[in-house]
Amino acid sequence: MANKRAVIPDLISSMLQVEVGNRCPLCGVFERTGNEFTDHHINHDPSISEFWNLIQICQPCHDDLTKNKNDGTRLKRVRQIKLRLFRNYFGPEAYKALYLAYKNNLVTATPITALELVRRGYLKMYTENILTVGPATNVSTFDTYTITVPGKEIVEKLGIDIINAPAV
């Protein structure tokens, strides 16, 4: 029996669009050239429509991946590409902050570094305004964040680390 297809929330769908920037991350074709992009479930389980398990690609690449879903080399390549897209979407500093919060349960970071991770529910504020630097003493320079359950899940599912971080 096939797994039931889960609805992809609008927020995740919009994140996927921004993540690829209208260009198939597998073959490089632009979406606006008549190629409709689709949401591909990386692990081929349509019941899991989480950000870590989805990537937007062109229809020919989607067809190829579906046809060759047991090809471990293709799967490894798609996972590496998704990891690179994730890092580029959030930025290298946020990527590092998420990893360090995962390893240490807490991370100190600038609010701008953690902003999108907090907004997406991967980190949450632990201590505000632990350190200020410069003349703006009423503005937080560094805060402490703790990782959330969704944050732990995305680190584990994507295999995030800073030692083998994907190139930008």
Residues 71-110 have pLDDT tens digits of 989 999 999 999 999 999 999 999 999 999 999 999 999 8
Tell me the pLDDT band of 131, cut-offs 50, 70 and 90: low
Q: Tell me, what's the pLDDT at 32? A: 73
The C-alpha R_g of the chain, in whole angstroms, comes to 18
Provide the residue ranges of all domains of the chain, joining segments of one domain with +.
10-89, 92-158
The span from the CA of 46 to the CA of 34, in Å, is 25
The span from the CA of 97 to the CA of 106, in Å, is 9
The span from the CA of 148 to the CA of 120, in Å, is 10
pTM of the model: 0.86
CA 131 to chain centre: 28
Question: Which residue has better confidence, 65 or 129?
Answer: 65
* Interval 5-32: pLDDT, tens: 889 999 999 999 999 988 999 999 887 7
Q: Tell me, what's the pLDDT at 155? A: 96
Alpha-carbon torsion (50, 84, 155, 15), positive or negative: negative
The average confidence (pLDDT) of the chain is 88
* SS3 of residue 36 by DSSP: coil
The span from the CA of 75 to the CA of 67, in Å, is 12
Q: Tell me, what's the pLDDT at 24? A: 94
